[in-house]
Structure 1
Amino acid sequence: MASTKTFGGREAVKIETVDSRGRRTFLHRALMSVGAVAAIGMIDGCEVAKNGNVTTITINVAKVKAYGTALVNAVATILSVAAIASAVGAPTVAIIETASAALEAALDSFASSAGSTVTVDYDTTSWKTLLDSIYSDAETLVADLDSAITGASTKVTSSALSTATTALDAAKTVLSAFQALLGITSARRAISPRRQGMTLDQALNVLHANAV
């Protein structure tokens, strides 16, 4: 959660963690753009509460875990299509699997650190490091999948491509939600636009991850 005054378009934010029993612990103060604070307030599962010049923001731990799990599941879904895996080729499959393993490791580290905590402070150094690691690995994974499927698109049947692109679009939807959760305005890696629109809940369902 966060407390803030506005300084040149940025807010000084106080953020807290909330454990599973609702107990709050102050963690840190940091500057966030007014736009980022507003954007976070529109995300389901994130809370922005204002009391005078104090703004409180929470980041939902379960959502981070769900998003990461969904992206790992995207790899299994896409590579389970034999035609796609074959067209992509063993070297690229290895790159994707390495990226997936890195994301899983980052998620495990985050889950271990979070424990029973319900919300965490993105601007506290330790949490920021963990969350940045997860996001970086997630973006790398989606970019690798995007490149691989684009390259394989002319080598497989329309049915195989449809399965892969649906999972990829779901992964892109989840990545966009993760960006919003952390206040990131654009991807750092080149990723093509989604071919079909879907809601976050639909994307999580496609990737067999629980909506939270």
Structure 2
Amino acid sequence: MIQSRRNFLRSSGLVVAAGALTACTITTNGKTTTLTLNTAKVKAYGQAGINAVTTILSVTSIATAMGAPAVAAIEAAGVTLSASLSAFASETNGSLTISYDNTSAKTRVDTLLVDLNAAAVALRAGLAAAQQTVTNGAINTAITTFNALLTVIDAFEGLLGISLTSVTTTQEATALSTLAVK
């Protein structure tokens, strides 16, 4: 699913529906479409994923119940996401305008979303294993953290026009707060 999403992102050119969102504006001049993203919001989404990984793995009982292979996969996804976020931040320098022919910047955004999804997939697998043995409040906290990450991903996809998100501004703010992103 993640690979097909990456292909979809690259081939779709970011749907015009994203223009209705406050974190994104779209202008068209002839055959050139330009998308301007609120980079602070995009960086917050990436940081939310990193914080979800850190928060969930910091609970010893959950990390132990997940098992070493799942923890290793989650850690690897977190490292990859962190690298994507750093590359995005470095390339954008606080602002980002993507023309459909600007493949480098567009690739940074696409990669960040793909890596955010990869971290969520790894966390989902680990949490499924942990739920079998961890029954205290820690698992509920981990699930709340994971659900906040899913909300952030949904908001990010809505920002890019990939999905018709139903995430409200309040839900997005709550999810980012849960993931300790300001």
Relative to the length of structure 2, the TM-score reads: 0.80
How many Å separate the matches in 2 of 1:127 and 1:72?
A: 21
Greater helix fraction, Structure 1 or Structure 2: 2
- The answer on 1:200 being equivalent to 2:172 is yes
* Contact 1:70–1:209, Cα closer than 8 Å, also in 2: yes
The alpha-carbon deviation at position 182 of structure 1 amounts to 2.2
Deviation per CA, 1:135-177, whole angstroms, max 9, x where unpaired?
Answer: 1111110011011112221210241111000000000011111
How many Å separate the matches in 2 of 1:169 and 1:178?
A: 14
- The answer on 1:119 being equivalent to 2:100 is no
Equivalent residue for 1:179, pick from 147, 157, 160: 157
Deviation per CA, 1:65-109, whole angstroms, max 9, x where unpaired?
Answer: 110001100011111111110100112111100110011111111
Relative to the length of structure 1, the TM-score reads: 0.69
- The answer on 1:45 being equivalent to 2:17 is no
How many Å separate the matches in 1 of 2:99 and 2:172?
A: 21
SS in 1 for 2:20: coil
* Aligned residue runs from structure 1 range 1-212, under 5 A: 36-38=15-17, 40-48=18-26, 57-116=35-94, 118-121=95-98, 123=100, 124-185=102-163, 199-210=171-182
Residues 134, 55 of structure 1: alpha-carbon distance in 2 compared, 3 angstrom cutoff: closer
Select between 56-65 and 169-178 the one with higher mean Cα deviation. Answer: 56-65
Greater strand fraction, Structure 1 or Structure 2: 1
How many Å separate the matches in 2 of 1:50 and 1:100?
A: 36
Q: CA-atom RMSD, angstroms?
A: 2.7
Gaps of 5+ in 1: 1-29, 187-197
How many Å separate the matches in 2 of 1:46 and 1:110?
A: 16
Gaps of 5+ in 2: 1-10, 165-169
The alpha-carbon deviation at position 120 of structure 1 amounts to 2.3
Residues 50, 82 of structure 1: alpha-carbon distance in 2 compared, 3 angstrom cutoff: same
The alpha-carbon deviation at position 183 of structure 1 amounts to 2.4
How many Å separate the matches in 1 of 2:146 and 2:99?
A: 27
| Number of equivalences | 166
Residues 86, 119 of structure 1: alpha-carbon distance in 2 compared, 3 angstrom cutoff: same
